[in-house]
Chain A
Amino acid sequence: MSELLIKNAVVCDPINKINCEKMDISVKDGKIVDSVSSGAKVIDAGGKLTMAGGVDGHTHCAGKINVGRFMSPHDMRMTNVPGLSGKEAPTATTRAQVGYNTPNAFAIGYRYAKLGYTTIGEAAIPIIGARHTHEEFEAIPILDKFGLTLFGSNWQVMEYIRDDEPEKLAAYVAWGLKASRGYGIKIVNPGGGEAWGWGKNVSGLDDPVPNFDVTPAQIVVGLAEANEKLNLPHSIHLHCNNLGKPGNYETTIATMKLLENIKSKRDRQVLHVTHVQFNAYGGTSWRDFESAAPQVSDYINTTDHMTFDLGQAIFGPAMTMTADGPVEYSNSRMLHAKWSNMDVELEDASGVVPITYSPKNFVNAVQWAIGLELALLVKDPWKVMFTTDSPNGGSFVNYPEAYTYLMSAKRRAEVIETLPEMALGRMNIPGIDRELDLYELAIMTRAMQSKMYCMDTKGHIGVGADADIAIYDLKPDSVDTSVEYAAVKKAFSGATYTIKGGEVVVKDGEITMTPEGRTYWVNAKMPQAVNDAMQVDLVQKFKRYYTVNQANYMVEDAYLPHPVEITTEAI
C-alpha cells in the first residue's frame, strides 16, 4: 500500500500526551509509523487541528434503528442540519442519502466520516437479532464498527446467577458474544426487560425479577464478575434501572457504588454507565423535577472504578430507542406519541418512540442542562465519553453544535436566555464557567474510548495505531474556542480531511471514497468442560422456548466479511 506524510499538523493526541503541538505524521499500510520514504504522498495540514479519528462508543446505528425508520417516514424529509441531513442524490462516490434521526445506512457512514469519526459502537445487539445487525454494519461504509450484546434480562443469565453458577455464566456470556459477534456486555434496565414481558417493571436494584428470584443488583454484579473472569476488553456497559424517572439519581449512584469492589486485570474501568443524563434526575415527580447532576458528579469525582457517557439532549426532533421496554411505554403515554414495542424472546424487550426536545418545555430544558452539567462537573475528562446516545438525545450530526456548549460559556448563555424561567431554578449550568479546551474535547471524543474499550490501535495517533486521522479547519494557535464557537461548529461539521486506514475518505467536508469498514468482535475462551456443561442447559432452552433452532441462531462467518477477532483467555 501507499505511504502518506501529513506535514504541519497541529496534533491533539491525549493518549500520547501531545497537546496541540506541530508535528508530521507518517502513515504506511494503514498504520502510523515512525517515518516514510521520500516517495510518500504529502498532505500539508497547514497548521490545522489534527486528531485521531473520532470514536463514538455508544450510538444506535444498526438493528433497532430500523424500527425507527419504519415508524418515521417523515424523518427522511427532515433537513434540520444542512449538509448532514435530509435527501441527497447519489454522486459518483456516494449512494443516495435520506433522513435525520434515522438516516439510511450509507448516510450514517458518510456523515460520521464528515464529522471526523472513524469508529462507532452499536449500543445494543439482541443475540437473536444479531444477524441483521451485522448485515447493516456491512452496509455502513468507511467506519469500523463494533456492537455490545444484551445480557441484562436474559433467562440463562438470570438462572445462572440465581443458581450461583459463575463458571457457567461466564461460559454463556462467551458463547453469547460469539453467537452475536459482539464486543462486550450491555445491560439495559437489568431485569426490567423480563418484567416487561409481564407488563411490569423492576422498581430498583433490590426488586426481584418476576419468576426468576434474582434482583437487578445481583444481575449487575454477576455479569460484572463474569466480565472480569473472561477478561473482556470492555467493562460491563450499563443502562441503569429507573431511567427517565424523576428522583432516579439515587438508583444511579447506588448502582455505581455496587461495583466499587470489582477488580479487573486490565487497565480500565470495571463499569461504564451509559447516557447518564437520563439517569441524573432529581425531584419526586415532573412537577418538582430538577437536575441531580451535581450529586451524581460528586460521587463520580470520588471514585476511579467507572466511566460514563452523557446522552446529551439536543433541542429538536429525536427518536428514542432502547431495550428498556417499560420506559418506551411510559414515553408513548406521556408524549401521546406513536410507539413500537417488541418482545425479544428469552433475551430482553425493546421499544421505539419519537420525541421532540423543546427549549420551551421546562423538562426538556433541564434535560439539556443535565448532560452539560455532568460533562463539566466531573473533573476528570478521562471518565467522560461524549455522546447524545444518538438518536435518543438527538442525532449525532449535532455533535459539533454540542461541542460548542461544552467549549463556550458564552454560547451556553445564549441558549440559556431562551429557556423558561421555571427551568433555570432547576438547573446548575448557568453557574458553571468551565470551558473545555481542544485537548479535553479530544479526550471525550476519541482518547478515553481507546482506554475504555482497550482498543490500543484506536483513538490516538502514536506509532502502531490505525491511521484514522481527522484534520479540522481550526488553527489551535490562534482560535479562541470560547468565543469563536461558530468557527468551531463549522470546522467540526465537515473535516478538512478524514483519513481512514491511511486513505483519504473526506476532503473539505466531501466524501472522496468509501472503503468498507471492519467489525470488531471478542472471542472469549472458557475451558471446554465448562462450555459443555453450559451447553446442556442451553440446548434445553432452545428445545423448550426459542422459536429458532440453535443451529440457525449463531451469526456465521459469512455475516462478517471484514472481521477483527479479539481473543481473550478466561482467568
Chain B
Amino acid sequence: MQTVTLSLKEKNTIPIEADAINPDNFASKSKDDIAAIMVWYGNAQSPIGDLFDVSIDGSDSAGNTKIIINGDVSRVKRIGQDMSAGEIVINSSVDMHCGSNMTGGKITINGDADSWLGCEMKGGEIELNGNGGYYVGGGYRGEACGMKGGKITVTGNVRDYLGEHICGGEIVVKGDVGLLPGISNSGGKIVIEGNTTMPASEMKSGTIIVKGKVAELMPTFKEDGTEEVDGVTYRKLLGDVNIAGSKGVLLVK
C-alpha cells in the first residue's frame, strides 16, 4: 500500500489544472519524484511540490495507491482525470472535471464538486459527499456519449444536465436535481431520490427513476402501467417517443 498526502500550501485563485494527480502517475514513485511532477498553474507549468506539501508512506502499484488531498482545492481542476485504479480522497470542495474519463478506481469528495464531475467516465466509482454542479456524468461538447460505465453517487443536490447523453453506468443522487437530467439517455441508469424538472427528454434507452416530485414532465412519454422497484410502486412511462425505436423507461411517483 502506498499513501500519498498532498496538502495545498496556499489557497490559489488562478486555477491549477491537475490531471497529473492520479494514482497511475504516482504509483511506486518517491516523494521527490512526485513533488517534481508538473501541473499547469495558470498559463505556466509548476511542480506539484511548489504548490502542495507532499508526504508519502510506502510504495506500491497504482491499484494499491491512495492519494489524500487536504486544504481548499476548490480551484484545482481535473483531479483524477483518466485514472484507471487506486483511490483519491479529497477533503474539500473541488473544481471542474474531477474524475473525467476515469476507467477505474475510486474518488471520494468530502465537499462540493464543480461542473463536469466524472464526465465520459468509463469505469470506477465517484462518491460525492456534497453538492454537484452542471453536467455530472455528461459528455463534452459534440460527443455522442457521456458516461459509459462506473458509478457516481451524490449525497447532496446537483444542477442541470445530469448524465447528459449518458450511454452506460449508474448515477444516484440523494438530493434534488436541476433541469433536464438524463437528456438523450442512451443506456445509462439514473436514480434521483429528490425532486427534478423535465427528466429523460430525448431518451433512447436506459432507465431513469425519480422518487421525488417531477415538475414539467415532458408530454412525449407513453404510460405503461406501473412497476415496482425495491418495494416502491412507480408509474411506468416509455419513451421519449420522439426518438424512433426508443426503449427508454422513466419511473415516476
Contact = CB atoms under 8 A, between A and B. Distances in A.
Contacts of A95: none
B140 interface: yes
Nearest to A71: B142
Interface string A108-131: 000000000000000000000000
Nearest to B186: A336
Contacts of B141: 73-74
B143 interface: yes
A373 interface: no
* Binding site secondary structure of chain B: loop
Interface in B195-253: 244
Interface string A59-84: 00000000000011111010000000
Contacts of A73: 140-142
Nearest to A317: B144
Contacts of A72: 142
Interface in A45-99: 71-75, 77
Nearest to A75: B142
Contacts of B140: 73-74, 77
Nearest to A336: B244
**Of B140, B141, B142, B143, which is in contact with the most chain A CB atoms at under 10 Å from its CB?**
B142
B81 to A, nearest CB: 13
Nearest to A333: B244
Nearest to B244: A336
A336 B142 CA distance: 14
Contacts of A75: 142
A72 B244 CA distance: 23
B161 to A, nearest CB: 16
A71 B140 CA distance: 13
B53 to A, nearest CB: 31
Interface in A311-351: 336
A71 B141 CA distance: 9
Interface string B118-154: 0000000000000000000000111100000000000
A336 B140 CA distance: 19
A100 B127 CA distance: 35
A72 B141 CA distance: 8
Nearest to B142: A74
A334 to B, nearest CB: 11
A77 B100 CA distance: 14
Contacts of A71: 142
Interface centre among A71, A74, A75 (most CB of B within 10 A): A74
Interface string B39-77: 000000000000000000000000000000000000000
A540 B217 CA distance: 53
A73 B143 CA distance: 8
Nearest to B143: A74
Contacts of B143: 74
Contacts of B142: 71-75
Nearest to B140: A74
Contacts of A336: 244
Contacts of A74: 140-143
A519 to B, nearest CB: 31
A557 to B, nearest CB: 38
Nearest to A70: B142
A496 B141 CA distance: 37
A72 B140 CA distance: 11
A187 B244 CA distance: 34
A424 B134 CA distance: 47
A46 B138 CA distance: 53
A137 to B, nearest CB: 26
A445 B140 CA distance: 37
Interface in A169-219: none
12 contacts: A71-B142, A72-B142, A73-B140, A73-B141, A73-B142, A74-B140, A74-B141, A74-B142, A74-B143, A75-B142, A77-B140, A336-B244
Q: Please list the 10 inter-chain residue pairs (A to B) with the smallest Cβ-Cβ separation, ordered nearest first.
A: A74-B142, A73-B142, A73-B141, A74-B143, A72-B142, A74-B140, A74-B141, A75-B142, A77-B140, A71-B142
Interface of A: 71-75, 77, 336
